[in-house]
Amino acid sequence: MLALDNPIRGYAWGSHTVIAHLQGRPTPTEEPEAELWIGAHPSAPSRLPDGSSLADVIAAAPERVLGAPTVARFGPRLPFLLKVLAAAEPLSLQAHPTLAQARAGFAAGDPNYVDANHKPELLVAIEPMAALCGFRDPLVSADRIAALAIPDLAPVVALLRRGDLREAVGTLLSWPEDQRHELIGTVAKGARLLPGPDADVVELLAAKYPQDLGVLVSLLLNHVTLQPGEAIWMPAGNLHAYLHGAGVEIMAASDNVLRGGLTPKRVDVAELLRVVRFEVLDSPLFPAVESEPGQAVWAVPVPDFALHRIAVAGDPVTLTVAGPRTLLCLGGTVTVADDAGSVTLTGGRAAFSGAADGDLHVTGDGDLYLATVGALTE
């Protein structure tokens, strides 16, 4: 059992309170803290008390640390990355490629692809989390845009009434640059005509990005506010954006992101349109399955990862989860032991247990998340 020291990424949209409060540090922090990374991603690996990285530990003995089945499937690397994500402002409108798309794009030297891996994601809210996730019924979206009463948007409304999500998104994201500011200004003024959360989302995004057509694309997506413990699943091709809030996020270990807007970063509309799945998502929520009393698992339909939540309440808990295990305490105090030793964790602290280190034995009183590989069968 290895105690981990985990890097914090300070992106501009991050919170000045969430991660620091979780770890018991003074708030507000001087700089924004957006993501706590827990894993072996080469750009920011977790470190051990001796200064070595988790990536170093894996490289020294991959089959012992990861297990032979994991190495056979993914190679000598940890295939998942666990995070705490804390958003004070909206993130970019984005989607992620399939594994085949990522491999082809990376091999071709396409600058959109920084590695050859896909990046499916699951996020579990730890405080209310507002997000856009997947396409809703295009007829509903057509009604929302029509309610703005902007003649220039009539062709988009017609496309949505025909169910042509691809062409509607492409039309919006390809809007002439010199007309965007005026259009978004008009949309922002008309937002009060929209019902419920649609008005709030448009006003929020238009204030932050007054020339970005992602503001209008938001009206094509499901608006969801997750309550603590609820999750959304974002497979390849799912168009999404986090708006504000915090959660535990797990993903395949990749940095491949195709952005369509709501960001000053690189946007490639053509490539985004190629990877997005233009399908209606009836519900973006992804429920957990209770495995035992006080234990739940989000078993997503990819082999790269699964996420478990364990409520530890005095009685010892034994976990027989196989493969490499990353553990994150979200509150309270828990001690986790394996055949190699034990680590005591408090809020925002994490540990790692190798595949060869046996069952996990947990004591204490707290909220524990455990990440490992998913089912390794096709």
Which domains does the chain carry? 294-372 (2.60.120.10)
3-state secondary structure of 70: helix
Residue 55 CB neighbours (<10 A): 17
Per-residue pLDDT, 266: 86
Per-residue pLDDT, 377: 46
- Consecutive 10-residue averages of pLDDT for the chain (378 residues): 97 97 97 98 94 96 97 96 97 96 96 94 97 97 95 97 97 95 94 89 94 96 96 96 98 94 91 96 94 91 96 93 96 96 97 97 97 76
Per-residue pLDDT, 25: 97
Q: Which two tokens stand for residue 84?
A: 């705490």
Binding residues: 94, 96, 121, 240
Rounded to whole angstroms, how far apart are CA atoms 141 and 216? 10
Per-residue pLDDT, 378: 40
Q: Which residues are identified as catalytic?
A: 259
Per-residue pLDDT, 280: 97
Q: Which two tokens stand for residue 141?
A: 């979206």
Rounded to whole angstroms, how far apart are CA atoms 236 and 12? 25
Q: Look at the chain and count its residues.
A: 378
**H or E segment to which residue 199 belongs:** helix 196-208
Binding residues for Zn(2+): 94, 96, 121, 240
Rounded to whole angstroms, how far apart are CA atoms 129 and 232? 10
- DSSP E strands, 2-120: 2-4, 8-9, 35-38, 80-87, 93-95
Per-residue pLDDT, 293: 87
